[in-house]
Every structure is written in structure tokens, then in C-alpha cells.
Structure 1
């Protein structure tokens, strides 16, 4: 079968923020995973463990979301600033963590981590147990340039210049642990909190740099998610609209129907179930984007000449990833291994996010370290990167590129495809999602190309994973690129593999 690739057939530009990451106080994601403290025997820089820090610097996540997730709704930001020895000790009951929290990693530690790895921060405020004033003070502490008590406090804590945090989530999963709210009750709260956000401008006519993100639906509930979005925007359109820029849907690829299926022990049926499960997200994105678009069109015209009309809200995906059954009882909490099954679904998910770059602007993998769909796993002094990390690294060329319109799946071979173009270079993803069948694919370009490189991720056994004893069991590697120049190139794809080809248009 032939896959035709024409760089003139474009969908839109891929926001680098579709490759975002998420860290939360769950298990050992932050404590022990990212942060070990300056007195730790584990090599570190100012408390951040060096091995993880180096991996994140190479990854260059465009956006990093924190402190939750569910933890945000119990987090009071003042607990995590100032001299570490004076910070209060609290208790974390979040998703089976059940540990004391010493608050050694707080706002300044998070934002300085973002500076070190080149990520733009996304902070979720505490809507459930916090106050409007607490949120406003947090934003002032992070962003106020003028000489105030809060900007002086930030300077005293080591950062005289404002952090200029743009992205702020107003609540998290408010339909469940974030308050078990209805869209109407959430909108009542959202109006209060969003309206109180500082603007950090010098004129009432200037556009605020602050970006308010509303809690969108639980996309794992197909009927509820539709009703939630419809009711949310109906409430939003009543009278004047508060600041709102993003609408945050969440989706997990639940693999919980078979307790015997684990991250590393699964059958062909279990493999296929997880692969098909991740693809459900595509229809949900299309559906939610259409709902948001049609709902915005129903916002009434403002009555006064100085009132603005809400005309657009971005769709974002704040949490996504595989969630296997065993994570519920894992210790540390929600820790799970990563095999080629997870790498395949990570590649497929990134491809569908990129394919819908015309309606989706930001997304965060859940989570970066030691939790669920991890890119990095730590165990004491040991650290390994997972196959998911390799996928994100292989896909970096798509950031800021133009997504091309090609079929999602080759019907004859079953191979999933995606392509983008940037500066005359075409990057093609080829995902053979079959657990045990290799196949050949012909790529036919609209004009002759010179294949620059071919990189592949596969494993001798799809159940294999990286461990401290065998850290490179599943790693990407370079494949010999076709030597000839031309419009047609055939590749042999191993079973359960991700291949990325780059070609320069001649």
C-alpha cells in the first residue's frame, strides 16, 4: 500500500505546547522523583536530582503543569515558600499517596525548575479549599513587578524579577474530587475567581497577559462530557462573561477491565484493547471542539459599546495517558512500568493531538516522573528513562511545524501515519501497532526528496521495559536511510514499533 504525502496539503501549525508535561504530588513524582533536597546523597543541583534534571533539559517540555491535578484543591501556596526549615508539615491523602508532605518543593522551586528546563509554567489554583484572595495573592507573588509587599516577599525568597506566569487553571476536575460540582455551581465559582485575577497592565484598554483555564469535562464519560460542556457554556453566556481563554478536558486510557492485565504482563487481547482505547480520544476532541465552537456562537451581543464579546475559547487537554489497573494499589502511588504498548499509545496520542492542531492548543502528558504514563522512573539513586521518553524525543521535530493532511491509518497494512513540514523538511511518523506482525509501507512524496534520517523504537519482546539493571532494553536507534533520492521510498516496519523518517524536499 502507498501513503501519499503532499506538503501543500496542510491542516494547521502544531503548537509546541501539545507536547506538554504534568507533575503532581502523587507518589514519588516530585518528592524523590524530581526533588531530593540539597542534603541528599543523590547527586543534585540545589535539590533537583541531576539525572532527572539533565533528562528534562534534553526533553525541553514546552509547558509544565503543577501542583495538580487533584492535589491543587488542597494545596495552599504559602505552605511552600520561604525558608524550608520553617515550612509547615501537612499530610497528603491524594490518590493513595498517604504520606506526610514537608512542602520542600513549592512555588519558587517549581518556577525555577521551569526556568532551568525551558518550560512555560501552568499553575492550577486551589478552587475547592482556597479563597479568591489566596489566588490573587499567589498571582501577585509570581508576577507583580511593582514594589509591593508580595513582590518584596518573592525577592526575599530569591527571585527579584517577576516570573510572569501566564497560564492559570481555575479549578481541576470540578465534576469529581474538585468539588463534585454541576456546571452551574462551578460557573458561579468560576465567575468570582476569574474576575479577581490581576490584569498586570497599565491601562483598562490593554489586553491582560493572564490566561484563565476553566475545568472542562471528564471525557471518559461520553454522555456526561457532552452535557457538561453544553451546560457550562449556557451558564457562561448568561449576562457578561468573566475572563476565559482555555477549556480543559481530561482523558485517560483506562485499562481496568482485566485485573490480570498489568503494565508488563498482557495478552494480545490486552494489547489490542489498550491500543484501541487511546484512539477514542480523537472523536472526543472533534466532538468537544464542535461543542465549544457552536456554544460560543450563541453568546449574545453586548449591549454597551465598551463591553467586549466572547468570540473564542481554546480547547486544551490538561491530562492524558495510560492508566493500568495495578496503579490503584501500587506503592509508591500510581507508579507503573512502561513497555512498547505504552510507547505505541503515546505515539498514537501525540499524532492525533498534532493532527487536530487546528482545534487543540495545549496538552499535558500525565505524568512526567514515576506516575502513570511516565517518561522517567526513579528508584533510590537509580534513574531510567522509559520508551515514552524516546517517543517524545523522536517527535520534537513536529513542534511548530505544519501538520499535513494524510490518512490516519493505512487500511491495507494497519500502520498509523502522521506527517508535518517545516523549513522544507518533512517528518513522517509510522506506527506499526500490531503486536506481532511486521509490514512494509511505501511512502510516495509529491516531489523527489532526500531521506535525511530514519529513527526507530522497538523491542525484541513487547513486554520488555527499562530497569536499573537493564536501563537500555528499549531504546530508539538510527536505521540506515535509503541512499537513493526520489519520490518513492519503501520501509520495512517491525511489529510493535515507532519509526520517524525525515526527508528534505529537493
Structure 2
């Protein structure tokens, strides 16, 4: 009933970008969620809901992906720049949204939001209904320092300095709504778009700032995802390679096959099914990482030394989270409540990402507001922080820390664990994924430690969720923890709870 931790046995640095978020024009994620417009009676700052903005500032997401998702492949960026009263009105059919789209929240609003909350932007390009020239112009508008027409247009819209957008996704889910393509047809398009990206450099010796992200497979299709990645890298190896920095895997923890199970109503079997479902991601990461390594090993060696050989492609996860059956049936689209079942799987997923920080460089929770695995829900003028928000806040200390080699689970207690160390402090995650039973979990270390803090996120009932009527029903609390300095720490963990311990090396 113990977990052994050695702060000297570290693996890799946990990139803060693993704690990324995703906002899309889907349901009320952006419109009416994040964006209410400057004329709204709801308190706002230049059109962005004040309470949501302040919550995001506290969260400080290191990465924010936009405008989709599926929406990206129908989005034309010029619809969303310039004076608000001169922007086009279009219709949004994205994933059951079915609403007018007045494009109040566009490129400048998004990139200013990133600046306000401290996030790196990840912009997804329209590869399905857009064009190479449209992509180039968008990049020019965002990044060109020289006074070109598009740079002057950006300045006229209130931002004289370049935004410096580095991360660009080329298309989205081309195996489905992004074009129902094959790896071969997608690669043909990818070569055109990636090869056309401006470098924003000033000499041939200066490395380009751009980080092109290719679409990876549907992580929920065990056979297809393997063949997609194999064929993608076979096509990539043909003749010369286009610029490519990363490969984007998507994985959802589907909970859609059981009519009696909803986001708030579930039994023991439903609890276990969803908890176990999120753990599949770790096997998928190992599988895809191995396929990428194999694909890179087959890259051709250039005939002349001036041509570089492709030797590295990062694995990233652009979308992850729980997806419950009732999200398909609601209006606005894909809204679901967030219980402790979701908080537990969010914690376990973050632990997977952090444990595999040598393989995964970026990841985005889907989605931040009002859609699926939300951190924030809105209800009229109310802004509700879900227990998922607390999990991300509890885990902030892992950003930039060194991952400690940690057993994923104590086989006796069933407790899931992860730990990291930074500045002589250990942050230890302990998740009790048992729906009913509390447990005492012991940690042993080879050095003396002092317990500085313990935080617990738990509810009286795992079916509870935060609402407009009771917005703080599920909130992380600080636990009194009186323990002597030593090499053993025992923590009491409530059932269905997420816990973090902060230990300092004595």
C-alpha cells in the first residue's frame, strides 16, 4: 500500500504546452460563452465576458487552439477582421450548431485574448474550402513586421506590432469532416500548403519561426489510426519532404453506447467504464510514437549535403476529453455538465500527458467553455467554473517541472499517482478513482520531506455538478496536514477524489 518516489529519478521536462486549451465556434463555446459583444448587458471587456476572462487569466493556459476543429475547414479569416459593423454574416452548420455567425470574434480578438491570458496561439488553417493564397495572407496579417499592405491592415485594426503566431495546423480531421480524405490525398494538399508558408526570416541562414502541424489519425479507430499513420509517413518519405514540425492526434473518451448513462446519471459500471476509457490514451501514445519513429527511420537520405534529412516530428494531441451521449441531444450543441467523474478522468489524462512528456509536446483539452469537457460553463449572465477548472489549477505547478519516474497505480489501493519536482519541491497527484471507498495512501522517499500543502477536490456525491444556483458545490479545498519531517507520508483520500500534495525537500 505504498508508492515509492525518488526525486532524483526524473525523466523529462513537462512542457507547459501540455496544459493547452481549445476554443471553437461550436455551440456556445465562443459566441454567448466567451464572446458576448461590446454592447451586451453582460459585463464584458471589449466584448469578452469579464468573468470568463478573469478565470482564464488565473488559469493562464499556455496554449489556446482556434478557430477549430471542424469549423476551421469552413472558416475564411477575412470575415472576422475590421470594424464590427462591417463584418459578414454567414451561417454556422458546424456539428449541430445551426446558428447565424456574425464573426464578432475574429483574428484580432482571439490573438489579443491570447496576449491577455498569456497563451501561445495555435491557429488552424482552412485546407478544405480555403486556398494556399488565403493561408499565406492570414499568416502575413498576423506576423509580417515589414509595412506590407496586410501588415498595414493589421495596424489599422489596432495592432501595429506582429502577433508572432508560430503554431499553424494545416487542416483538421481530414479523415472525416475535413474532407474524408486518404493519407495520400491529404499529403498532396499538405505539401502545397506547408511548402507555401512564409518563413518570416531575413537571411538564408536564419531558421524560420513557423511550426507547421500535420493532421494525425482518428485516435478512436484502433485499426484505422495505425494504417493512417503508416501510410502518412510512407507518403511523406516520397521524394523531398515538405516542412513539418508536428503530427496531431485526436482522442475522445467516448461514452455514447449506453442510453441509461448521461453526463450526470451513471452507475458503478458507467463510472468504471469512463475512468478506464481515458487510460487507453497512454497505449495510443506509445503506439503512435513508435509508428512515427519507424516512419522517420525510412526517410530517404538526400543526394547532396545541402538538403537536410527529416529526423524529427513531434507528436501533439489537438483534442482530448470526455464525450457523453447526451451532448448530442442538447441545444446549444455539445454542452454537457461536469461531475467528479469528468474531473477524475481529466486528472488521469493530464497525468498521462505529463508522464509521457518525452513523447508529447503539446495537448489541448476539448473544449474550454460550454462544450464537452468544459472548464467554464455559462448560463445567461452567470459564469460557472466546473471541477475540471480546479483540476487544471491544482496541476499548474507541474508546468516546466521534471517528471519523476512514478508507478501509474498502486495495485493494492487502486490509487493513481504522478509526481514532478521543481525548485526542490515535489508536486504529487493522487487520484482515488474508486467511486465509493476511501483509502489511506502512503508515499515513501529516499530523502526527508516536509508536507507543505494538500489540496482535495471531492463532492458528497460523485453525480454532483456546479450550477448557476450552486456554483461552488465542487471546489478544491486545502486540507490541514500535520506530519513530521520524514521519509514517509500517508494521506487520506476520499472516494472519487483528486488530490495534490506539495512536499519540500528538507
Structure 1 and Structure 2 fold alike (TM over 0.5):
yes
- CA-to-aligned-CA distance 1:360-405 (integer Å, 9 cap, x gap): 0000000000000000000110111000000000000000001111
Aligned match of 1:450 = 450
Q: Secondary structure at the match of 1:491?
A: strand
Aligned match of 2:117 = 117
Aligned match of 1:367 = 367
Post-superposition offset of 1:11: 1.5
1:341-356 alignment runs, 5 A limit: 341-356=341-356
CA distance in 2, matches of 1:259, 1:378: 26
Whether the aligned pair in 2 keeps the contact of 1:97 and 1:332 (CA below 8 Å) is yes
Aligned match of 2:291 = 291
CA distance in 2, matches of 1:489, 1:306: 57
Q: Secondary structure at the match of 1:500?
A: strand
Aligned match of 2:224 = 224
CA distance in 2, matches of 1:259, 1:306: 60
Aligned match of 1:479 = 479
1:458-473 alignment runs, 5 A limit: 458-473=458-473
Q: Secondary structure at the match of 2:65?
A: strand
- CA-to-aligned-CA distance 1:132-182 (integer Å, 9 cap, x gap): 000000000000000100000000111000000000000100010000000
TM-score w.r.t. the length of structure 2 is 1.00
Whether the aligned pair in 2 keeps the contact of 1:482 and 1:489 (CA below 8 Å) is no
Post-superposition offset of 1:297: 1.0
Q: Does 1:99 align with 2:95?
A: no
Q: Secondary structure at the match of 1:31?
A: coil
- CA-to-aligned-CA distance 1:19-73 (integer Å, 9 cap, x gap): 0000000111001111111110001111111000000000000000000000000
Whether the aligned pair in 1 keeps the contact of 2:24 and 2:66 (CA below 8 Å) is yes
Aligned match of 1:40 = 40
- CA-to-aligned-CA distance 1:250-301 (integer Å, 9 cap, x gap): 0000000112211111111100000000000000001001110111011011
Aligned match of 1:22 = 22
Aligned match of 2:504 = 504
Aligned match of 1:404 = 404
1:148-159 alignment runs, 5 A limit: 148-159=148-159
CA distance in 2, matches of 1:163, 1:482: 48
CA distance in 1, matches of 2:10, 2:116: 34
CA distance in 1, matches of 2:445, 2:455: 19
Post-superposition offset of 1:305: 2.1
Post-superposition offset of 1:446: 1.4
Aligned match of 1:252 = 252
Aligned match of 1:234 = 234
Whether the aligned pair in 2 keeps the contact of 1:173 and 1:218 (CA below 8 Å) is yes
1:271-420 alignment runs, 5 A limit: 271-420=271-420
Whether the aligned pair in 1 keeps the contact of 2:338 and 2:388 (CA below 8 Å) is yes
Post-superposition offset of 1:204: 1.8
- Hey, which bits of structure 1, 4+ residues long, moved more than 6 A? none
- CA-to-aligned-CA distance 1:226-265 (integer Å, 9 cap, x gap): 1000000000011110100010000000000112211111
Q: Secondary structure at the match of 1:352?
A: helix
CA distance in 2, matches of 1:455, 1:302: 54
1:201-220 alignment runs, 5 A limit: 201-220=201-220
Whether the aligned pair in 1 keeps the contact of 2:483 and 2:489 (CA below 8 Å) is no
- CA-to-aligned-CA distance 1:470-505 (integer Å, 9 cap, x gap): 011100000012331111111111100011000001
Aligned match of 2:2 = 2
Number of aligned positions between the proteins: 506
CA distance in 1, matches of 2:159, 2:206: 26
CA distance in 1, matches of 2:167, 2:180: 24
Q: Secondary structure at the match of 2:449?
A: strand
Aligned match of 2:72 = 72
CA distance in 2, matches of 1:482, 1:354: 29
- CA-to-aligned-CA distance 1:318-357 (integer Å, 9 cap, x gap): 0000000011111110000000000000000000000000
CA distance in 2, matches of 1:157, 1:284: 43
CA distance in 1, matches of 2:51, 2:188: 45
Q: Secondary structure at the match of 1:449?
A: strand
- CA-to-aligned-CA distance 1:392-448 (integer Å, 9 cap, x gap): 000000000011111100000000000000010011000000000111111111100
Aligned match of 1:171 = 171
Structure 1: gaps (5+ residues): none
CA distance in 2, matches of 1:48, 1:304: 53
Q: Does 1:263 align with 2:257?
A: no
User: How much is the aligned-residue C-alpha RMSD, in angstroms?
Assistant: 0.6
Q: Secondary structure at the match of 1:140?
A: helix
Whether the aligned pair in 1 keeps the contact of 2:339 and 2:465 (CA below 8 Å) is yes
Post-superposition offset of 1:10: 1.0
CA distance in 2, matches of 1:293, 1:205: 28
Post-superposition offset of 1:203: 1.2
Q: Secondary structure at the match of 1:450?
A: strand
Q: Secondary structure at the match of 2:448?
A: strand
CA distance in 1, matches of 2:219, 2:482: 42
Q: Secondary structure at the match of 1:145?
A: coil
